[in-house]
Amino acid sequence: MLARIGLLLALLLVGLQPAAAKRIAFSFDDAPRRAGAFLTPDQRTVRLIAALQRAGVGQAVFFVNPGNLAEPFGEGGEERLRAYVAAGHLLANHSFSHPALRATDADVYLADIDRAATWLSARPGYRPWFRFPFLDEGRADKAKRDRVRAGLAARGLTNGYVTVDASDWNMEQLTIDAVAAGTAIDMDGLRTLYVDSHVEAAEAADAVAVAALGRSPAHMMLLHETDLAAMFLPDMVAALKARGWEVIGADEAYRDPISSWAASVDVPSAQGTLIEAIAWARGLPEPRWWPGNQPDVALRRYRTEVLHAAP
């Protein structure tokens, strides 16, 4: 009887323990980017720095393509990158010219990484992280993938992987296209879609992570240096916090043990996130990704919720 009472008390105490915190950091690809739908690049940087501060994001990381600094589109880009670092954020390597590994020779690809590293390595705020453009690690070409992985290790670079992706670049491009076409945009609907998409993607990734790993890891969200981020990031972070998410810095996120998988997982990830790749390696059934990343789903939601057009 006493043993049974003790067991019941133990189970009760376990049930009263708070759920493990969901932690998330933020990264921005393709910096510095050209003008978007609403803001000049300089305006966007000012607003994005303010948005990060207002949202309580003390340390994000910007994955840089130094090739974007070329004129005329790169005018002022170096100053904007310095402004991010001065605000407490980090820089990392996203290649020089943003090639797709599946369409590039491995040695040419590594040379492009080296060209970016030459520009980045002496910069304040630099971290030796490399993020694959398009999140493309060679797809089914394991020999090429392993050649590049070995090249990264030899250069002291680690994989700047992603665990959460809501295809914000696609939403940004749809907005640019709509503005260029003179199509009316519901800005409240755009904000809601941006916020909901990123919260849904984070929750879906964490559910897959818990199923695959038995725990919630420190997550890294993929964003791009877009007008939408500059305008809506505080709303998105507030919505994440309302769902129990804690904002952490990029340094902390990449110290999570999940990082050990990034250089060893042996599946071609269809969507590019490390969570999906791990779930695939662990034999979890599909879907192992957030359905909103599918182009047809994303377009249908955008047309319905932002443009109020027929699907």
Residues 6+ apart with CB under 8 A from 299: 174
Q: Which residues of the chain have pLDDT under 50?
A: 1-18
Kind of pairing between the strands at 245-247 and 22-31: parallel
- pLDDT of 15 reads 40
Q: Is residue 140 part of a domain?
A: yes
SS3 271: coil
CA 285 to chain centre: 23
CATH number, domain at 182? 3.20.20.370
Q: Per residue in 205-256, pLDDT tens?
A: 999 999 999 999 999 999 999 999 999 999 999 999 999 999 999 999 999 9
Q: If we measure between CA atoms, which residue out of 30, 31, 7, 309 comes closest to residue 177? A: 309
Q: Is residue 15 part of a domain?
A: no
- pLDDT of 1 reads 39
- Give the count of domains, the chain: 1
**Could you list the residue range(s) of the whole structural domain that residue 44 is in?**
20-305
Q: Is residue 14 part of a domain?
A: no
Q: Is residue 252 part of a domain?
A: yes
pTM to 2 decimals?
0.92
Q: Is residue 11 part of a domain?
A: no
Nearest 5 degrees, angle CA 132-CA 126-CA 144?
25
Q: Is residue 6 part of a domain?
A: no
Q: Which two tokens stand for residue 258?
A: 């999940």
Q: Is residue 13 part of a domain?
A: no
- pLDDT of 221 reads 98
- pLDDT of 310 reads 76
Under DSSP, the state recorded for 70 is S
Q: Is residue 5 part of a domain?
A: no
Residues 6+ apart with CB under 8 A from 44: 33, 35, 36, 225, 226, 227, 230
